């Protein structure tokens, strides 16, 4: 049976594929709204399992387990884009899957993503498909340095990519290419990176959050702040592009779209993520609506609210190496909002939580934060 557009109401059951921190925060919002939540994750003590009503313990590629989850849910969603798109399509036989697979297929393959953006005339960095080291050498002779080599599938937080600044970096690039298709992206000289968190229901109603400005360290998101410092004209351009992308790829629920903005105001779409985004965590305290409540509203086909920025804010990720220093600092920081995800092991560069600070002076708040030396 194929379900038509419908509304999922409190008291009904939401199934979530993935039990990490995004699944945890989705679940928390869903529970506050009165939904029953079942998550699927291979790890028994995963973050989302600590707040969900039930858990199916299974691997993300276990099609039978996912279809069985669909049979006991009213709506099915996912917290990451590496779930099998064919399985998501098959699940439509058993429950409402409003996200479908369109945005999923586009975003989980970098070539598909770039071809989609190019076909719709969105501004992107130049790119080339790389299937061998010979391909890379030949393309580099034409395009030159710098550039970025990325695997077309998988990869996150800097994994699965190599920045090519000189020919010396080709050694690392050759390792990445082995047995994998890659894409070579031209390097965009940008002044800042921003993201738009946008949520949409199947009726096409949208919630567009204030633009967020991001900084990375070692290719991992380090700090997000809101509002951004973009001009009014550039802000409008970015919002219009994000809204059109969400419509064009039939996005449902929350989506994060990353942009590069050049010194001259040029805008380039960098990446699409069809689920809540790390940069959007500050919306929990800083906005009238969090990205997670917006996601639940979107997939349940509830009316989409207009998010209001209640306070300027910054968010800083807590990685494994920061956990103990942050714990040591808790008693001294009455204005910090602490979020720990409940992961069982603090590993180097593993996202363990985040801190959000509401402020009327972002620059001063940053000075105060970095005086703690936690993130040196």
pLDDT digit string (tens) for 31-75? 999 999 999 999 998 999 999 999 999 999 999 999 999 999 999
| Residue 118 resides in a domain | no
Q: What is the CATH number of the domain that holds 92?
A: 3.40.50.20
Domain span holding position 23: 13-97
Q: Binning pLDDT at 50, 70 and 90, where does residue 368 land?
A: very high
Same domain, 342 and 243: yes
| Residue 207 resides in a domain | yes
Strand partners, 196: 257
How many domains does one find in the chain? 3
- Whether the CB-CB separation of 34 and 10 falls below 8 Å is answered with yes
Quick check: helix, strand or coil at residue 365? helix
pLDDT tens figures, 247-257: 999 999 999 99
Q: What is the CATH number of the domain that holds 255?
A: 3.30.470.20
pLDDT over 70, % of the chain: 98
Cα gap 348→345, rounded to integer Å: 10
Range 69-95 average pLDDT: 96
Same domain, 21 and 56: yes
pTM: 0.94
Cβ contacts of 227 within 8 Å, gap of 6 or more: 210, 211, 213, 309, 312
Q: Binning pLDDT at 50, 70 and 90, where does residue 158 land?
A: low
| Residue 335 resides in a domain | yes
| Residue 50 resides in a domain | yes
| Residue 179 resides in a domain | yes
Give the E-state strand segments of 45-142 in sequence order: 54-56, 75-78, 127-130
| Residue 55 resides in a domain | yes
Q: Please report, for residues 325, 328, 366, 367, the alpha-carbon distance to residue 373 in angstroms, rounded to integers and kept in the order given.
A: 9, 12, 12, 10
Position 11 pLDDT exceeds 80: yes
Position 103 pLDDT exceeds 60: yes
Q: First and final CA of the chain: distance in angstroms?
A: 55
Q: What is the CATH number of the domain that holds 140?
A: 3.30.1490.20
Mean of pLDDT over the chain: 94
Task: Output the pLDDT for position 1.
Answer: 42
- The phi-psi region of residue 115 (left if phi > 0; otherwise alpha if psi is between -120 and 50; otherwise beta) is alpha
Same domain, 87 and 224: no
Residue closest to 305 by CA, chosen among 227, 197, 202, 205: 205
| Residue 355 resides in a domain | yes
Residue closest to 99 by CA, chosen among 87, 109, 111, 110: 87
Same domain, 293 and 315: yes
Same domain, 221 and 343: yes
Same domain, 347 and 217: yes
Position 180 pLDDT exceeds 90: no
Strand partners, 314: 225, 357
Q: Which two tokens stand for residue 163?
A: 């920045």
| Residue 200 resides in a domain | yes
pLDDT tens figures, 314-355: 999 999 999 999 999 999 999 999 999 999 999 999 999 999
Same domain, 362 and 220: yes
- Whether the CB-CB separation of 55 and 19 falls below 8 Å is answered with yes
Same domain, 164 and 200: no
Task: Output the pLDDT for position 157.
Answer: 60
């Amino acid at each position: 049976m194929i379900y038509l557009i419908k509304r999922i109401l409190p008291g009904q059951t939401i199934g979530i594929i993935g039990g990490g921190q995004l699944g945890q925060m989705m679940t928390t919002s869903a529970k506050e709204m009165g939904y029953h939540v079942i998550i699927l994750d291979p790890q028994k003590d995963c973050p989302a399992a600590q707040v969900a009503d039930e858990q199916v313990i299974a691997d993300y590629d276990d099609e039978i387990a996912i279809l069985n989850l669909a049979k006991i849910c009213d709506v099915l969603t996912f917290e990451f884009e590496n779930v099998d798109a064919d399985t998501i399509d098959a699940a439509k036989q058993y429950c409402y899957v409003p996200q479908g697979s369109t945005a999923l297929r586009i975003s989980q393959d970098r070539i598909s993503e770039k071809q989609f953006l190019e076909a719709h005339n969105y501004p992107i960095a130049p790119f080339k498909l790389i299937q061998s080291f010979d391909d890379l050498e030949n393309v580099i002779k034409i395009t030159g340095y710098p550039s970025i080599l990325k695997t077309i599938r998988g990869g996150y937080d800097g994994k699965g990519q190599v920045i090519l600044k000189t020919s010396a970096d080709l050694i690392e690039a050759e390792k990445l290419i082995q047995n994998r298709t890659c894409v070579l992206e031209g390097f965009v000289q940008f002044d800042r990176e921003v993201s738009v968190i946008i949520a949409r229901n199947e009726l096409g109603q949208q919630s567009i959050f204030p633009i967020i400005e991001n900084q990375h360290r070692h290719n991992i998101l380090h700090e997000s702040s809101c509002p951004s410092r973009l001009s009014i004209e550039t802000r409008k351009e970015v919002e219009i592009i994000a809204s059109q992308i969400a419509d064009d790829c039939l996005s449902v629920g929350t989506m994060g779209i990353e942009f590069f903005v050049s010194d001259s105001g040029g805008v380039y779409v960098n990446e699409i993520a069809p689920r809540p985004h790390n940069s959007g965590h500050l919306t929990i305290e800083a906005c009238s609506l969090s990205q997670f409540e917006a996601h639940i509203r979107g997939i349940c086909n509830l009316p989409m609210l207009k998010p209001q920025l209640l306070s300027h804010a910054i968010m800083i990720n807590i990685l494994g190496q920061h956990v103990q220093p942050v714990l040591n600092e808790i008693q001294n920081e009455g204005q910090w909002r602490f979020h720990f995800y409940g992961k069982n092991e603090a590993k180097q560069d593993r996202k363990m939580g985040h801190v959000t600070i509401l402020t009327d002076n972002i620059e001063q708040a940053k000075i105060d934060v970095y005086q703690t030396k936690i993130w040196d």
